[in-house]
């Protein structure tokens, strides 16, 4: 029996991967409380999952202003770079590849999480119908303030600096988080962007921030180490767009100019139904001229089929990677998977984080 392509090596931009299985970005809210830095448990958690062809880290705030939840890690301080260095070393020691997800939450935040209790920033001062986690519980997000046009160059510089930091921390590349209702998605989608400057209004204007961030990040490192995550048809965090096919056709056309490592799409509603206007997703996928990572609700057979038929070059798994450190081996052998425990997704320490057993550990315990 020949091995399905899903399990075979591939190259992704400048990276050589052992297989086409990607660990999707997964926020786990376990950074050190005093400095939002990752530490030993993060190195252990990611190293346990290093058999993924590629790991995309949890979203990591590019500046203090970019933070939206308690205990998410950053990539803007020396302590954070040092913490991440231990993570990348541990993953590389096991032969894995790891990119960091660069995150700015925009309006999905709370004043209690931000420097000096300031308001979250957004394209427009429209409060999202969403909640965030402030360390005690889920609370409605705060009323944001609209970014001034004159602040955009500073924002772009924040992405540049985070990219330099990622490089210094030993990552293999970066994924720009432009999905799930966070800052870049807020600029893309007209339900959150009612600006009247060069960054709002027409589709051309709404894709400008994404384009400028991608240009800055790929110039700071190299395009072959840069990927972008989009969720065209997702309403995650209360985001809406009146014509996602048109908006994201324009976005993909912009991305095509850079020779990026990959485009990573959340297909349909994030963590929900795989639904989109007929042919809409397929058209975006076909329009992108580089490697395509598919995500959202895939199981073993769907992933094998997607790669076999060329619908995807790689497939990212989220929840399955939380519960199965050796997911690649389990999929290869077609063995049962551990069930993720949603009570321990966000916050805590080792429980529900580094204590899910591998097949081998389960067998030796029996």
Ligand X SMILES: Cc1cc2nc3c(=O)[nH]c(=O)nc-3n(C[C@H](O)[C@H](O)[C@H](O)COP(=O)(O)O)c2cc1C
Instruction: Select from 4-12, 132-140, 217-225, 293-301 the region that touches ligand X (CB under 6 A).
Output: 293-301
Residue 271 interacts with ligand X (CB under 6 A): yes or no: yes
In Å, what is the CA distance from 100 to each residue of 90, 164, 169, 175, 207?
14, 12, 10, 6, 22
Cβ proximity to ligand X, 13 vs 181, nearer residue: 181
When CB distances to ligand X are compared, the closest residue is: 318
Q: Name which position in 200, 297, 325, 352 contacts ligand X (CB under 6 A).
A: 297
In terms of phi and psi (left: phi > 0; alpha: psi -120 to 50; beta: otherwise), the region of 168 is alpha
Q: Which of 59, 51, 46 is nearest to 21 (CA)?
A: 51
- Would you say 98 and 194 are in contact if contact means Cβ atoms under 8 Å apart? no
CB 197 to ligand X: min, Å = 27
Residue 295 interacts with ligand X (CB under 6 A): yes or no: yes
Residue 107 interacts with ligand X (CB under 6 A): yes or no: no
Cβ proximity to ligand X, 245 vs 266, nearer residue: 266
Residue 180 interacts with ligand X (CB under 6 A): yes or no: yes
Q: Name which position in 19, 27, 51, 218 contacts ligand X (CB under 6 A).
A: 27
Instruction: Select from 86-94, 199-207, 253-261, 265-273 the region that touches ligand X (CB under 6 A).
Output: 265-273
The whole-angstrom separation of Cα 75 and Cα 38 is 10
Residues 72-101 that bind ligand X (CB under 6 A): 101
Cβ proximity to ligand X, 179 vs 328, nearer residue: 179
Residue 181 interacts with ligand X (CB under 6 A): yes or no: no
Radius of gyration of the CA atoms of the chain, in A: 19
Q: Name which position in 18, 21, 24, 100 contacts ligand X (CB under 6 A).
A: 24
The whole-angstrom separation of Cα 29 and Cα 49 is 18
Cβ proximity to ligand X, 214 vs 320, nearer residue: 320
The whole-angstrom separation of Cα 74 and Cα 102 is 9
Instruction: Select from 22-30, 79-87, 129-137, 155-163 the region that touches ligand X (CB under 6 A).
Output: 22-30
**46 alpha carbon, distance to own chain's centre:** 15
Residues 117-146 that bind ligand X (CB under 6 A): none
Q: Name which position in 237, 270, 324, 344 contacts ligand X (CB under 6 A).
A: 270
Residue 266 interacts with ligand X (CB under 6 A): yes or no: yes
Residue ranges of E strands in the chain:
10-12, 15-17, 21-23, 54-61, 98-103, 121-122, 131-133, 138-140, 145-146, 173-178, 226-230, 262-266, 292-295, 314-317
Token code pair at residue 250: 């324009």
Q: Provide the β-strand partners of residue 265.
A: 230, 294
Q: Name which position in 21, 26, 91, 141 contacts ligand X (CB under 6 A).
A: 26
Cβ proximity to ligand X, 97 vs 264, nearer residue: 264
For 228-266, letters b (16+ CB in 10 Å) and e give bbbbbbbbbbbbebeebbebbbbbbebbeebebbbbbbb
Query: Binding residues for ligand X, how many (CB under 6 A)?
Result: 23
Cβ proximity to ligand X, 100 vs 169, nearer residue: 100
CB burial of residue 163 (10 Å; 0-12, 13-18, 19+): buried
Known catalytic residues are 182
Residue 179 interacts with ligand X (CB under 6 A): yes or no: yes
The whole-angstrom separation of Cα 285 and Cα 348 is 37
Q: Which residues bind ligand X (CB under 6 A)?
A: 24-27, 58-59, 101, 177, 179-180, 229, 266, 270-271, 295-298, 317-320, 345
């Amino acid at each position: 029996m020949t091995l399905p392509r899903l399990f075979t090596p591939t190259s992704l931009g400048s990276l050589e991967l052992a297989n086409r299985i990607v660990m999707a970005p997964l926020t786990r809210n376990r950074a050190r409380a005093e400095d939002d830095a990752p530490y030993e448990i993060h190195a252990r958690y990611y190293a346990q999952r290093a058999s993924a062809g590629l790991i995309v880290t949890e979203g990591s705030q590019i500046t203090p202003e970019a933070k939206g939840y308690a205990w998410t890690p950053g990539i803007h301080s020396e302590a954070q770079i040092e913490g991440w260095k231990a993570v990348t070393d541990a993953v590389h020691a096991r032969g894995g590849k790891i990119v960091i997800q660069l995150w700015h939450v925009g309006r999905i935040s709370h004043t209690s999480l931000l420097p000096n209790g300031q308001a979250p920033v957004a394209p427009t001062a429209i409060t999202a119908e969403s909640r965030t986690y402030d360390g005690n519980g889920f609370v409605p997000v705060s009323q944001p303030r609209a970014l001034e046009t004159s602040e955009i160059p500073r924002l772009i510089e924040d992405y540049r600096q985070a990219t330099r930091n990622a490089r210094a921390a030993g990552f293999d590349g970066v994924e720009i988080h432009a999905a799930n209702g966070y800052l870049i998605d807020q600029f893309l989608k007209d339900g959150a962007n009612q600006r009247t400057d060069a960054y709002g209004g027409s589709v051309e204007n709404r894709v400008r921030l994404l384009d400028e961030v991608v240009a800055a990040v790929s110039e700071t490192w190299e395009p072959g180490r840069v990927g972008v995550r989009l969720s065209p048809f997702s309403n995650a965090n209360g985001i809406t767009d009146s014509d996602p096919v048109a908006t994201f056709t324009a976005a993909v056309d912009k991305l095509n100019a850079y020779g990026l490592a990959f485009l990573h799409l959340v297909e349909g509603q994030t963590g929900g139904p795989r639904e989109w206007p007929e042919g809409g997703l397929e058209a975006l996928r076909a329009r992108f001229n580089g490697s395509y990572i598919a995500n959202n609700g895939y199981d073993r057979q769907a992933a094998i089929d997607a790669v076999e038929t060329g619908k995807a070059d790689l497939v990212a798994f989220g929840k399955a990677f939380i519960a199965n450190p050796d997911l690649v081996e389990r999929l290869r052998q077609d063995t049962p998977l551990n069930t993720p425990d949603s009570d321990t997704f966000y916050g805590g320490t080792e429980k529900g984080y580094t204590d899910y057993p591998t097949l081998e550990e389960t067998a030796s315990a029996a």
